Amino acid sequence: MTATRPQPRPGVLDIAPYIPGKSTAPGVAKVFKLSSNETPLGASASTIAAYRAVAEHLEDYPDGSVSELREAIGAVFGLDPARIVCGAGSDDLLNLLARAYLADGDEAIHTTHGFLVYPIATLGTGAKPVVAPEKNYTADVDAILACVSQKTKLVFLANPNNPTGTYIPFDEVKRLHQGLPPHVLLILDAAYAEYVQRNDYEAGIELVATSENVVMCRTFSKIYGLAALRLGWMYGPAHVVDAVNRIRGPFNVNAAAIAAGIAAIRDNEHVERSRAHNSRWLAWLTEEIGKLGLTVTPSVGNFVLIHFPQTNGRTAKEADAFLTKRGLILRQVGGYKLPNALRMSVGTEEANRLVVQALSDFLGKTA
Ligand SMILES: *Cc1c(COP(=O)(O)O)cnc(C)c1O
């Protein structure tokens, strides 16, 4: 039968629309947004200055090859700039990789509580997302490998993962890579790599450098504090870089993002300060929330996943409503198959203390 109106390609209407973190609490004067893993320290002063300077030349197209930023990233990480592609956020790159490598009927694997952009990017191409079970809220290499079929083209792995905050050690990432057939591209999404302080963790640079089927995606949205500008980058084998460059928008990264990104990647002091703030308050939140009797999944990122009981009056939904009334905005994660948990980004000292006090009051109230 002929359709009576235009129809999106198969898969598109199977996508559950992405619901971003809330940012308002009606009627509350002072709001602490802890729902999108943004940094409480903001962008560095040098980054903001570089961004402002772009205002003088808004008439000019940006450099479509993003050379200066790729060179700056290459210098900081010791990488060949020719093997770097920049994008309008790492979302852009994840979608470009999906478009470049997936077609109708193909499969892309992600884990149960994996980042929601993966199924969205996959379904948008007409391919099928295949969900590998996790163990203890953590990616399970054997379970991922068991999902691989002739149709598998991509494996998405957020390491550390959002919203769980868990990671797998480099040995495990290597074991995953070794178990994959050579035609499968492993996408290591290391959006929170700068926050991780574990000796057995690697974002993936070495694996990309030594193989033909691994890419690593990074973002400026998190520790660098540039979420508003939409900027990310990937490092990959030359043939993957070539494929992505052919389909990306010729000016997919804007001039303000380029200028700010160059300043941000060079401002190591700001990164160190942000990392130190995060380490201190991540540990504090994990311990203090744990003392209240709530389970916190051990996190290596800049956020914690807090599990609530299913008892009436104590649920995650009710906690969210209680906190929101105090201007403390956390993230419901039902969309991540975690209906009994809330995700909280590490905030300022003030915000962190207010959340712990509020959770204590919430749990202490008569049911
Ligand atoms: C925040 C986040 C990103 C970054 O997305 P951008 O588009 O760069 O803002 C990527 N992956 C994961 C898992 C994230 O949590």
pLDDT in tens, 252-288: 999 999 999 999 999 999 999 999 999 999 999 999 9
Place of tokens 């000019």: 60
Residue 262 CB contacts under 8 Å (≥ 6 apart), including other chains: 50, 68, 69, 72
- Give buried/exposed letters for 192-212 (b at 16+ CB in 10 A, else e): bbbbbeeeebbbbbebbeebe
> What is the pLDDT, as a whole number, of residue 246?
97
AA letter at 18? Y
Which structure tokens are listed for 51? 């961004």
Q: Phi and psi (nearest 5°) for 265?
A: -70, -25
Task: Name the band, by pLDDT with cuts 50, 70 and 90, for residue 366.
Answer: very low
Helices (H) and strands (E) in the chain, counts: 12, 13
What are the structural domain ranges in the chain?
Answer: 20-42+269-363, 45-267
54/23: higher pLDDT: 54
- Is the CB of residue 166 below 6 angstroms from any atom belonging to ligand 1? no
- Is the CB of residue 38 below 6 angstroms from any atom belonging to ligand 1? no
Q: What angle do CA 110, 235, 123 make, to 5 degrees?
A: 30
Could you please state the CATH topology (level 3) that the domain comprising 45-267 is classified under. Answer: Aspartate Aminotransferase; domain 2 (3.40.640)
Residues 317-334 have a mean pLDDT of: 96
Domains 20-42+269-363 and 45-267 share a fold: no
Task: Name the band, by pLDDT with cuts 50, 70 and 90, for residue 243.
Answer: very high
AA letter at 298? P
Whether omega before 309 lies within 30 degrees of 0, making that bond cis, reads: no
Q: Phi and psi (nearest 5°) for 306?
A: -110, 125
Q: Report how far residue 352's alpha carbon sits from residue 357's, in angstroms, rounded to the nearest whole number.
A: 9
Q: pLDDT > 70: what percent of the chain? A: 99
- Residue 297 near residue 307, CB atoms below 8 Å: yes
Could you please state the CATH topology (level 3) that the domain comprising 20-42+269-363 is classified under. Answer: Aspartate Aminotransferase, domain 1 (3.90.1150)
How large is the C-alpha radius of gyration of the chain?
21
> Which atom of ligand 1 lies closest to the CA of 189?
11
Give the global pTM: 0.96
Per residue in 104-121, pLDDT (tens digit) is: 999 999 999 999 999 999
> What is the pLDDT, as a whole number, of residue 224?
98
> Which atom of ligand 1 lies closest to the CA of 91?
7
CA proximity to 193, closest of 228, 234, 155, 154: 234
Residues 128-139 have a mean pLDDT of: 98
Burial-class residue 39 by CB neighbours within 10 Å (0-12, 13-18, 19+): buried
Residue 28: CB atoms within 10 Å: 14
Q: What is the dihedral of CA 348, 286, 304, 365, to 10 degrees?
A: -90
pLDDT at 367 over 60: no
Q: Is the dihedral of CA 272, 47, 328, 16 positive or negative?
A: negative
Q: Report how far residue 12's alpha carbon sits from residue 121's, in angstroms, rounded to the nearest whole number.
A: 10
AA letter at 44? S
E-strand stretches of the chain: 32-33, 84-87, 107-111, 128-132, 152-158, 185-189, 214-219, 232-235, 295-297, 303-307, 328-329, 331-333, 338-345
Residues 13-37 have a mean pLDDT of: 86
- Is the CB of residue 363 below 6 angstroms from any atom belonging to ligand 1? no
- Is the CB of residue 129 below 6 angstroms from any atom belonging to ligand 1? no
Task: Name the band, by pLDDT with cuts 50, 70 and 90, for residue 365.
Answer: low
- Residue 93 near residue 244, CB atoms below 8 Å: yes
Distance 29 CA to ligand 1 centre (A): 29
- Is the CB of residue 237 below 6 angstroms from any atom belonging to ligand 1? no
pLDDT at 242 over 80: yes
> What is the pLDDT, as a whole number, of residue 29?
87
Residues 206-219 have a mean pLDDT of: 98
Per residue in 87-104, pLDDT (tens digit) is: 999 999 999 999 999 999
Q: pLDDT > 90: what percent of the chain? A: 92
AA letter at 345? S
pLDDT at 22 over 80: no
Residues 330-338 have a mean pLDDT of: 95
> What is the pLDDT, as a whole number, of residue 124?
94
